[in-house]
Structure 1
């Protein structure tokens, strides 16, 4: 077993939730060796072709990850290991924090102009991307943004990937709606939270109405401009928002969870051209954080 490979305990948590066959009577090669190759690439950020030979053919490792990213296998596995953790009482539902982080896109992910010759004295056309590839321009160049909801144990419950210039507040409801932890005994998965904590970037009437409608307590500071606007409107502005300083001190847990997520180089920097492949990389990282003791 090499450094960073799955231990016997981690493999025991992961193995029951992986596909048993490749469909149409085919059989997969050793899942453990292939997943160790995916983790190696995730940890180091090397090109797929440069994977060590101890993981087998690089194309087998790449195709397995790409296929499972496209058909939702990684998503199903993540929810399965979350369900196991919830059954064992390892999920801290007391405070769920929401935050976001920006990932710089490598030039291999950002692409380049092809078939458009450079004309002297004329500016090049800006690089255009499909709107569903989660690439956007910001001050740092091409970037993607990960909007994350984490539980008290610094492990991700759900996340959404968007272009880097997209705002935080409009994505909060989408992230919270993706929290669905199945119950091993059956029934509807758990989606309701006890308490939500976020910084002032997530303060909006729409988000607060959503949390009140679902009867979820929340601690979100009110920016000065929103407070002044509410006071200017008088009684029509509504009541002041509640704020629990003791709960807000735990907001740093969201930043610590992001630091754990971005300790993997293939997440801190986006090397994947397709958004669904990068989404799979982040999902594999989340799975490792749940099975890692």
Structure 2
């Protein structure tokens, strides 16, 4: 086994990973633009045959089924909804960019359940709970939540053997994955994920949320980072795609900066779980 000699070695391996489909990167980059037209989204999705095929397959689940089925991306957008199809495109695009590694014991299905749960939770909290003056776009919150753990997929693809050692270290030392990665790799998946997001020219607010959500009190943070942190912890509490390890501690400072408390969060639990089940059904 060839262990990386430095963090630079890991980053170089990450840099060699295939680029996410152009259509998906454009959708994510424009996620906070409310002026994007339906025709523009349809064109972006239709430009990628694999992506459009996956979108039509998901749109034709029994939840959205209609007589004769949905035959075009335009029909999917009109029948399922603009934002729902945009979310599907982001989900599928990211999934297809990181196919399951044949040698890993990593639970991909559980990873995606948790990622989608964090995204859904972040969007619902941004809509229902957080003060409007914070200026948090619910759609950006969803994408930030969905991508918060993308560095794990990058490490599996770039340095699979070393990532397995980190997972074994976590199990034997009963520590967090971040602590295990730092011990084995000298870096962690949050930093790697942010590096990849910057390479793909994602909005800075998304890059920061990916990098800083594990420990929002350790560095200057944003309200979006605090929101993703709270959403991740909440998904662990609700057992949405959470692994068997201890849930990360909740930052009281993040809650304070967002000006929320547990009693404000509790009424959202049912909606979070309902929307999560709907997405899980589409993912299969």
TM-score for both structures, normalised by structure 2: 0.24
| Structure of greater relative contact order (alpha carbons < 8 Å, 6+ residues apart) | 1
Structure ID, larger Rg: 1
More helix by share: 2
